[in-house]
Amino acid sequence: MGTYSAKDLQVLEGLEPVRRRPGMYIGSTTSTGLHHLVWEILDNCVDEALNGHCDTIEITFEKDGGITINDNGRGIPIDTFAKTKKSAMEVLFTTLHSGGKFSEDNYKVSGGLHGVGMAVVCALSESLTATSKRDGFEWTQSYSQGKPLTKLKKGKAVRSYGTSIYFKPDPKIFSNVKFNIQAILEQAESKAFLNKGLKIVVSGISEKKEFQYPNGIQDYIEKIIGKRPPLSDTPFYIEKDDKKMRLETVFQWTSGTETIIHSYANAIKTVDGGSHETGFRNGITKALRSYIERRKLLPKSINNITGDDVREGLIAIINVYLQGDVEFQGQTKGRLNSDITSQVESIVKHSLEHYLLENQTMGDLIANRVILSAQARIASRQAKEAVQRKTNISHRLNLPGKLSDCATTDKNKAELFICEGDSAGGSSKQARDRKTQAILPIRGKILNVQTATMAKVLANTEIQNIISAVGTGLSPKFDYSKLRYGKIIIMTDADVDGAHICTLLLTFFYRCLPELITNGNLFIAQPPLYRIDSGKKLFYAIDDNEKDQIIEKLNGHKYEIGRFKGLGEMPAADLKKTTMNSQNRSLLRVAISDSENTEKTFTQLMGKDAEFRFNFIKERAEFVHDLDV
């Protein structure tokens, strides 16, 4: 039996905990975590603007892969911090839980609350240089991996004030340190929308961008709505300023079915919602229910109006500014936990209900829109129940005829591979582990569920086979406990047709079985496109980039390249070794990091309106280097 004593304990000094466990501070070391570094610095600049000290922010993409963010605010303090005898700047960048936002004296409203943002960015950067303009001079200090490289340097005399921070993420922490320009442009634009009059300039890209909106979120909703037909000429706008909370919200119903709700707290995007969004949802639901009841508009065939009925076709932005202690969930601030649900609900309910009663023509129009949503919901549920009964009966009798099931009944070990066509199915059956791996071939490209009615979706043979094989059924009778396979793996050819089939399957799971994505059961296999033989050495490459890298590493040795035309033509041994054997394969887990952008992507790229796809292709055409036609 081993011993465990005080000598086995470790005390991590300084910012070492951040470098050891970065996920605790930025969520992950993926692209999401990488960009969280940018948001931390940008949010500090926005905090200066929120408190009336800054009106311009500039973001510059540097040629070395770093990024510089500066503002014309008050500048970072540079005087000596009494407890440590170090400059305030050095304390802020090298010490967790240090900052000026724990008190309301310096920042009445703030998005940065934990005093870890700048220190975390410093800890996870290969290099960082901070410059502060204040007290008549320019002050600079450089850092690397959370440690100062230089002392605070006094530079040239200046009359202006402001802060400039350059940093370059550490490749030892992040596998990919390349910033997504589009994501940063979108974030910069949203910050400008949320702060009326604030100018945010993005440079160092092919075309310099400048964002400034005098009407704030009222300009924002016009951009989001775009060409969707609105029910009213102008959006609903509510602004309420209380002692500890200022609420600003704008919303509008459209004739479409897509629901988009953007929520923010102190200019921080709360991607997971929270108390302010819950209050907003409750408020509009109660307002419409009350209006429909007072006007006696509800048909006898409908028992009640649900929140989903009210929100169908709704585009909304809700932004709250809170003073004092603001409670976010975790350092990444994805959800607001402050107890303001009832306060927001009351404001929204009374404001909207009063408007609808004062403008009954518009009120009836929106009410009828909500009632139609309820009728469609009931019809959809009845269609699902009919197919559910049929599926349950057939499931008791037998599973889909094309399914080659596995032997194990332990769903945690069982895997279902969905592949395209009988040919690929044949290769997969030869390559599989019969004990744990099941194969379900589907016939070509399945129905696009984004554009089809639920009745048509549920009548499709291929979709019926998938539902039957998976075993859970569909909402409202979805039962996760009846899931037959812990991993459901989409396995299609590594070509354009394969990508299209994969996309159609993803659309099906996202729309009809979203719980499998939420619970982490859905995966995408990564079959190779190339086989490279060099003497006794054998390599596989997923794409052209990986192929080129392998060839470069061969250093001139002779090689032969074979391209797999599809899984059906891939030898079973190759398929097993590269794609199905759990010891060697690579699987991509399907997850949703941003529910709003995911919804938008499926709606625009898989929906009926071709204009979105046309614009998407046109905007990105210049970045395509190798088109597979």
pLDDT at 81: 73
Q: Which domains does the chain have, with CATH numbers?
A: 16-211 (3.30.565.10), 217-376 (3.30.230.10), 400-527+564-591 (3.40.50.670), 602-629 (no CATH)
Q: Is the pLDDT of residue 389 over 70?
A: no
Q: How far apart are CA 53 and CA 43, in angstroms?
A: 14
Q: What is the DSSP letter of 580?
A: I
Q: In 3D, which of 377, 375, 376, 370 has the Cα closest to residue 291?
A: 370
CA triplet 53, 58, 60: central angle to 5 degrees? 155
Looking at the DSSP bridge assignments, the partners of residue 314 are 253
pLDDT at 395 over 60: no
Q: Which residues does residue 405 pair with via DSSP β-bridges, in sequence order?
A: none
Q: Which residue has the tokens 């440690």?
A: 147
pLDDT given for residue 398 in this prediction = 52
Residues with a known catalytic role: 420, 493, 495, 497
> Over the stretch 504-515, which tens digit does the pLDDT of each residue have?
999 999 988 999
386 or 205, which is more confident? 205
Mean pLDDT of 596-605: 79
For residue 144, the SS3 value is strand
With pLDDT > 70 as the criterion, what percentage of the chain qualifies?
A: 89
Pinpoint the alpha helices (H) of 71-129.
88-94, 117-123
Q: Residue 115: what residue type?
A: G
Which pLDDT value is given to residue 5? 47
Rg from Cα positions in the chain:
28
At a CB cut-off of 8 Å and minimum separation 6, what does 319 contact?
A: 194, 217, 247, 248, 249, 263, 264, 265, 267
Predicted local confidence at residue 384, as pLDDT: 65
Q: Do residues 613 and 450 touch, judged by C-beta distance below 8 A?
A: no
When pLDDT is averaged across residues 573-600 and rounded to a whole number, the result is 83
Check pLDDT > 50 for residue 114. Answer: no
Arithmetic mean of pLDDT, 134-147: 92
More confident of the two residues 58 and 207: 58
In three-state secondary structure terms, 480 is helix
Q: What is the 3-state secondary structure (H, E, C) of 311-341?
A: HCCEEEEEEEEEECCCCECCCCCCCECCCCH
**How much is the pLDDT for 2?**
55
pLDDT category at 359 given cuts 50, 70, 90 is very high
- State the pLDDT at residue 11: 45
CA distances from 147 to 37, 92, 95, 142 (A): 17, 12, 10, 9
* 577 secondary structure, DSSP code: I
The C-alpha angle 213, 218, 222, rounded to 5 degrees, equals 95
Residue spans of alpha helices (H) in 10-58 = 16-20, 23-26, 31-50
Sign of CA dihedral 444, 445, 447, 449: positive
pTM listed for this prediction: 0.60
- What is the 3-class SS of 264-317, one letter each residue? EECCEECCCCEHHHHHHHHHHHHHHHHHHHHCCCCCCCCCCCCHHHHHCCEEEE
**Range of lowest pLDDT (80-84, 233-237, 404-408):** 80-84
Tokens at 582, concatenated: 């759990």
Q: In whole angstroms, how far apart are CA 602 and each of 122, 213, 365, 466, 605?
A: 37, 29, 28, 20, 5
Task: Return d(Cα 354, Cα 498) in angstroms, integer.
Answer: 53
pLDDT of residue 247: 92
Q: Mean per-residue pLDDT for 579-595?
A: 84
Contact 315, 260 (CB under 8 A): yes
Contact 564, 494 (CB under 8 A): yes
Backbone angles phi, psi at 316, to 5 degrees: -145, 150
How many whole angstroms from its chain centre is CA 460? 31
Residue 253 has pLDDT above 80, yes or no: yes
Q: Are 445 and 425 in contact (CB under 8 A)?
A: no
Question: Which of these ranges, 185-194, 249-258, 382-391, 442-451, has the smallest mean pLDDT?
Answer: 382-391
**Calpha distance 505→377 (Å, rounded):** 23
530-534 vs 560-563, strand pairing mode: antiparallel
Closest CA to 275 of 320, 223, 331: 320
Q: Give the pLDDT band (50/70/90) at residue 397.
A: very low
pLDDT at 266: 82
Task: Compute the average pLDDT of residues 308-317.
Answer: 93
Of 4 and 483, the one with more pLDDT: 483
pLDDT of 299 > 70? The answer is: yes
Tokens standing for 309? 């009925």
Q: Which of 1-10, 521-530, 600-609 has the lowest mean pLDDT?
A: 1-10
pLDDT digits (tens, 9 = 90+) for 47-91: 888 888 999 999 999 999 999 999 999 999 888 876 767 888 888
Residue-level pLDDT at 626? 56
Amino acid 574 reads: D
User: Terminal CA-to-CA distance of the chain, rounded, Å?
Assistant: 64
Mean pLDDT value across residues 178-191: 91
DSSP 8-state symbol, 7:
G
Please tell me which residue, 52 or 629, carries the higher pLDDT value: 52
Name the 3-class secondary structure at 130.
strand
